[in-house]
Structure 1
Amino acid sequence: MTQTAVPFLFMRGGTSRGPYMNRADLPKDLDTLSKVLVAAVGSGHPLNIDGIGGGAAVTTKVAMLSPSDDEWADVDYFFAQVSVEDQLVDYKPTCGNILSGVGPAALEMGLVKPAGDTTRVRIRAVNTNARVEAIVETPNGAVEYAGDAKIDGVPGGAAPVLLNFMDVVGSATGALLPTGNLRDEIDGIEVTCMDVAMPLTIARADAFGLTGYETAEELDANRPFMERMEAIRLEAGKRMGMGDVSKSVMPKFGLLSRPRSGGTVSARYFMPWNCHPSMAVTGAQCLASCVLREGTVADGLADLPTGTPALVQIEHPSGIIDVTVDYEGSGADFTLKSAGLLRTARLLARGELMIPQAAWSK
């Protein structure tokens, strides 16, 4: 046999897409696992022509599920970001959009049993040890995918998946402000380094001479900006205690500008070597927290909501994403309790993913 068959679900989760597999069906050691995932996605070609990736960072993501041994959680979610062309796999981050499909996938795989018209799936994100509760519609004991909920970046409507994120502060670095500062200056650019669900280096678009309303394609094509941004990100990674991040997708990078479509703030999010076509779920939580915390680079840009939980509406290249942030206090007493978002997901296909036998060899 020249290929190994691996059962999988092919799902859209939020504005991302990829295979969802049972962790037990895959190699245990990460080196071999990386070879298998590179082969599955087809990393190494801009179109991922020899795999099921879609030639973009939002379509070269993998979710691996297993029963959880955590007392709180029902299922463990192990995420892998596979590069489009470089045959690299990063296990450091998690992905909130792909997480949108974890609840439905766990039900489809039989890892969780339906419990009435809606089922609460408690998820441990293994990469960051975060806890997330997904509320999935399950009328008649089956996952419902049809509905009227809409998220920008996805055409049409679908059944809602509600995500409540707990323990989001210091997900990767252990601190809300990993450098200890509300603002740092790197290469003449003021940035806020913040870690909420995903560590980010955040700057104002106008600091780079940008409007902040550029399309993702325009930003990707602006090589002088992209090169300068990457240099700042690398230095920020060191200051955040993350070491050499040249081959890691963390920290991500965010640009903020004033809203122009009725939202709270406008943002562009980088993955980090390309601009996201919409907005990452984890990144949205960090950007929303940056907006709400006084003294950051977001000061003066946002139309701040009043009261708590606060609804922060972030404008992005494909529309708006809503983040509900439960927090208390202000200034040095600012304490983030949880963040919630509405997402959707859809099962696109199921079957066996064929992996070349050579990928399994150590």
Structure 2
Amino acid sequence: MLKGIPCYIMRGGTSKGLYFLEDDLPTDVELRNTLLLSIMGSPDERQINGLGGAHPLTSKVAIVSKSSRKDTDVDYLFLQVAVDKAQVSDAQNCGNILAGVGAFALEKGLIPSQNEQTDVRIHMLNTGSNAVARIQTPNKQVNYEGTATIDGVPGTAAPILIDFLDVAGSSCGRLFPTGNAQDTILDVPVTCIDNGMPVVLLNASSFALKGDESPAELEANSDLKQKIEAIRLEAGKRMNLGDVTNKTVPKMSLISPALKGGLVNTRTFIPHRVHEAIGVLGSVSVATACVLQGTVANQIIKQSFSDGCMNIEVEHPTGQFIVEMDVTGTDNFENFMVNRAALLRTARLLMRGEAMVSASE
């Protein structure tokens, strides 16, 4: 016998995942994770017996509930469901899946829609930080159609502005968790940063790369993957993340000079596959490192920044990401502060119904 679990399938940014209400899933974490593995079809590299898309970017879950906090409307827990192993991780946020959380909360009636647009205040349980998503709600209905575009997603959609309020050091305890703008790990200069996503920045030239290599080329380079993983394991310890062997953080971002008119170019290991674009919060961390003197990224772009508001264009394999930032102390590591980070995303409701599982699960 099968039973149905209420579920939405949504694209959020450049990712796709399953969205659930917390009340529709088991409260026991082990039982919940076992259920989600079954729904996704993991472990199996094709996820042929489930709803997963056979890639980390399409094997994601959002669990949403009404918030008990006075400063937020809903709570959001992100879970990364591994494709090829029986593993469900809550070690990171996901800013792309976050793009669909506000719309999902409105669709499910967790908060009332306003006329024209609704600001949804979201508490990200993975790291304890908050964000505000501005959703178009003409006639108090969520609108998904519009003229906004984001690189890595075909077509157009309604814009969703996401404002990140307090994400600096949310996973590692501080913006630069090693206490330095730059470190050396296994003879490679690196910058370790956490502005919503723990990221290790590396100069692509340190690995004899140009930075324009495709994700497939990088994934096929076994020597490169082994060295980057060795650096990641050591960086995890220095970033207060402990043993990251079985964790999805930190992400490893190869940095190189811009190729298409942006500020900096990236290729990001997430951590063992290479992102076809770049994660939302990963791009925020990269953009942040770009504007502070002394980081690996700033040394590559060779540019000084004044305090205040700016747009940072982060290139990735399928386009670029524009991060709006307000910072102070760009010339002084000790005084550097991120006052605001925001960006534009889109989302689309793809399906709503029930995910079917064995009645014994």
TM-score bracket for this pair, using the shorter chain length: over 0.9
Q: Show the counterpart of 1:84.
A: 83
Alignment of 1:53-64 (within 5 A): 53-64=52-63
Aligned length: 358
Q: Select the residue among 349, 352, 360 that pairs with 1:350.
A: 352
1:4 CA drift (Å): 2.7
Distance 1:303 1:284 in 2: 19
Q: Show the counterpart of 1:119.
A: 118
Q: Show the counterpart of 1:133.
A: 132
Write out per-residue CA displacement over residues 192-214 of structure 1, whole angstroms, 9 at most, x where no aligned residue: 11111011111111011111111
Q: Does the CA-based 8 Å contact 1:264-1:303 persist in structure 2?
A: no
SS class of match (1:295): coil
Alignment of 1:27-176 (within 5 A): 27-176=26-175
Distance 2:52 2:307 in 1: 42
Matched, 1:310 2:302: no
1:235 CA drift (Å): 0.5
Distance 1:29 1:191 in 2: 39
Q: Show the counterpart of 1:295.
A: 294
Q: Show the counterpart of 1:328.
A: 328
SS class of match (1:114): coil
Q: Does the CA-based 8 Å contact 2:14-2:96 persist in structure 1?
A: yes
Q: Does the CA-based 8 Å contact 1:193-1:236 persist in structure 2?
A: yes
> Which one is further off, 85-94 or 328-337?
328-337
Alignment of 1:192-211 (within 5 A): 192-211=191-210
SS class of match (1:309): strand
Alignment of 1:170-189 (within 5 A): 170-189=169-188
Distance 1:357 1:200 in 2: 40
- What residue identity is the alignment partner of 2:337? T
1:285 CA drift (Å): 0.4
Matched, 1:339 2:341: yes
SS class of match (1:257): strand
Distance 1:241 1:177 in 2: 11
1:31 CA drift (Å): 1.1
Unaligned 5+ segments in structure 2 are none
> Which one is further off, 297-306 or 255-264?
297-306
- What residue identity is the alignment partner of 2:313? Q
> Which one is further off, 177-186 or 270-279?
177-186
Alignment of 1:272-283 (within 5 A): 272-283=271-282
Q: Does the CA-based 8 Å contact 1:265-1:303 persist in structure 2?
A: no
- What residue identity is the alignment partner of 1:131? N
Q: TM-score, normalised by structure 1?
A: 0.97
Unaligned 5+ segments in structure 1 are none
> Which one is further off, 320-329 or 344-353?
320-329
- What residue identity is the alignment partner of 1:209? A
Q: TM-score, normalised by structure 2?
A: 0.97
1:8 CA drift (Å): 0.8
Q: Does the CA-based 8 Å contact 1:170-1:197 persist in structure 2?
A: yes
Distance 1:107 1:83 in 2: 28
- What residue identity is the alignment partner of 1:356? S
Over the aligned positions, Cα root-mean-square deviation in angstroms equals 1.1
1:303 CA drift (Å): 6.5
Write out per-residue CA displacement over residues 63-103 of structure 1, whole angstroms, 9 at most, x where no aligned residue: 01000011100000011000111111101101000000001
Q: Show the counterpart of 1:319.
A: 319
1:356 CA drift (Å): 2.1
Q: Does the CA-based 8 Å contact 2:196-2:281 persist in structure 1?
A: yes
- What residue identity is the alignment partner of 1:102? V
Q: Does the CA-based 8 Å contact 1:138-1:144 persist in structure 2?
A: yes
Distance 1:117 1:329 in 2: 38
1:173 CA drift (Å): 1.2
Distance 2:349 2:53 in 1: 16
Q: Does the CA-based 8 Å contact 1:278-1:319 persist in structure 2?
A: yes
- What residue identity is the alignment partner of 1:285? V
